[in-house]
């Protein structure tokens, strides 16, 4: 059976942050086995009812409904984001924040759902999210997903608060960061967002905004480092439940993103080769 993360790492790095049920449905198997089953779903994209539960559990076997119950419970309580910020805080010395990269990504929404609309460039219904990664390509934060008919600058002030707020929850200061972003983010509004946070915005000039007599900061050599977020996108796309969105609710979609962040980071922090 394919293993996304070693169970010992799951038990050591993830399980301590999971709340124990005080009432209602009690887990009859170790929590690391439930997390392992959810990670299998994340990686393979298999439908919930097709989870190979007999192969995923060692002694007592949970039904796929029980695995889904736990996942939805964690999503509704925002547990997966809390786990992510805790892991970030614990391992922030292993991050490379000499510069960070900012980008948007449209994901095909196969079954429709919340925050889904037709996107002309993709020629299908999509969901749009913004991502921030460190210089190594380790994902750091995700915005609130919005319908795919909106561009990357839609409601950018609020979305950027979500992004920077994730770092602040992990006790990672944002002041002084050098942020790379492509020409799609070349707007006065976004530059002002960065300025308010004392972030150095290294944004490629958009020709539509004119390229004469502009005195904004731009370092081409630093911007060339931005290719690493494309590698991050490839890592994220390796998780089939993220490559195409089948979840109809935003909280489930965000949950899988945070799980992918956790897997990528723990592999890096524990130097696991894949």
Residue ranges and CATH numbers for the domains of the chain are 7-77 (no CATH), 96-243 (3.30.420)
Q: At what angle do helices 31-44 and 64-76 cross, to 10 degrees?
A: 90
For the cut 90, the answer to whether the pLDDT of residue 22 exceeds it is no
Q: Is the pLDDT of residue 274 over 80?
A: no
Contact 35, 3 (CB under 8 A): no
CA-to-CA separations, 206 to 131, 188, 218, 222, 251, in angstroms, rounded: 20, 12, 12, 17, 34
SS3 content of the chain, % helix, strand, coil (to 5): 45, 15, 40
Q: Which residue has the higher pLDDT, 23 or 227?
A: 227
Cα-Cα-Cα-Cα dihedral sign, residues 258, 260, 266, 268: negative
What values do phi and psi take at 170, rounded to 5? -85, 10
What is the model's pLDDT at position 157?
97
Rounded Cα distance, 69 and 252, in Å: 12
Residue-level pLDDT at 216? 87
Asked which of 18-27, 86-95, 138-147, 253-262 is least confident by mean pLDDT, the reply is 18-27
Per-residue pLDDT of 33-63, as tens digits, reads 999 999 999 999 999 999 999 999 998 999 9
Distance between CA atoms of residues 171 and 173, nearest Å: 6
Per-residue model confidence (pLDDT) at position 122: 83
- What are the φ/ψ torsions at residue 129 (nearest 5 degrees)? -135, 155
- C-alpha distances (whole Å) from 197 to each of 163, 192, 201 are 12, 9, 10
Range scoring the smallest mean pLDDT among 79-93, 122-136, 141-155, 204-218: 204-218
């Amino acid at each position: 059976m394919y293993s996304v993360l070693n169970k010992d790492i799951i038990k050591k790095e993830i399980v301590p942050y999971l709340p124990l049920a005080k009432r209602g449905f009690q887990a009859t198997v170790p929590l690391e086995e439930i997390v392992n089953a959810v990670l299998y779903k994340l990686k393979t994209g298999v439908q919930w009812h097709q989870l190979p539960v007999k192969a995923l559990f060692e002694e007592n076997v949970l039904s796929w409904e029980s695995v889904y119950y736990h996942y939805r419970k964690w999503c509704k309580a925002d547990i997966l984001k809390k786990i992510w910020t805790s892991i970030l805080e614990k391992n922030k010395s292993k991050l490379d924040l000499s510069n960070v990269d900012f980008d948007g990504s449209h994901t095909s929404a196969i079954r429709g759902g919340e925050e889904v609309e037709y996107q002309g460039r993709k020629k299908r219904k999509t969901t749009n999210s913004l991502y921030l990664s460190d210089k190594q390509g380790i994902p750091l934060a995700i915005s609130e997903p919005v319908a795919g008919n909106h561009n990357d600058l839609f409601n950018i002030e609020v979305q950027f608060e979500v992004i920077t707020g994730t770092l602040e929850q992990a006790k990672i200061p944002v002041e002084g960061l050098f942020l790379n972003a492509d020409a799609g983010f070349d707007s006065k509004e976004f530059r002002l967002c960065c300025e308010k946070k004392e972030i150095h915005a290294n944004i490629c000039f958009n020709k539509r905004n004119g390229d004469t007599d502009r005195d904004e900061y731009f370092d081409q050599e630093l911007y060339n480092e931005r290719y690493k977020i494309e590698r991050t996108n490839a890592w994220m796309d390796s998780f089939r439940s993220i490559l195409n969105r089948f979840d109809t609710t935003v909280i489930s979609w965000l949950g899988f993103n945070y799980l992918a962040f956790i897997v990528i980071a723990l592999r890096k922090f524990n130097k696991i080769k894949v």
